[in-house]
Amino acid sequence: KDIVSMKAHVPDAIFRKTAGAESSAPMLDMAQVQKAVDMINRAKRPIFYVGQGANHCPEILTKVVKKANVPVTTTVHAMGVFDERDPLSMHMLGMHGAAYANFAMQNADCIVAVGSRFDDRT
């Protein structure tokens, strides 16, 4: 059979746009936020592990990192979300990343994951 010129019936419903769910700002539980702040402050070797999900908020990330004075490592898809010339930058981690970034993650006592996932390459 010639499937390229074959006629197919595709129901119109497939092409209808569906209404998306309404989104709202997430509710913050300030007690949980304070708990996280305390955990970061108590840590001896904390690190921010930043992924592509943080690409839309580099200013906020930088402000938090500077206030906490905690080093940052990024995934390949988040490179540039935090200034890599900054002294707190550990650069990219992972199988093709900086060995010192991988070492810092392995030895951290508190990992703050922002917009990232943990997969086989990090």
Domain boundaries, the chain: 44-122
Which CATH code of 3.40.50.1220, 3.40.1650.10, 3.40.50.300, 3.40.50.360 fits the domain covering 44-122? Answer: 3.40.50.1220
Q: What is the pLDDT of residues 35-53, one digit of tens each?
A: 999 999 999 999 999 999 9
Integer Cα distance of 77 and 46 in angstroms: 22
Tell me the H-state helices in the chain: 30-42, 58-68, 99-106
Q: What is the pLDDT of residues 52-73, one digit of tens each?
A: 999 999 999 999 999 999 999 9
pTM, whole model, 2 decimals? Answer: 0.75
Integer Cα distance of 62 and 42 in angstroms: 20
- How many other β-carbons are positioned within 10 Å of the β-carbon of residue 105? 19
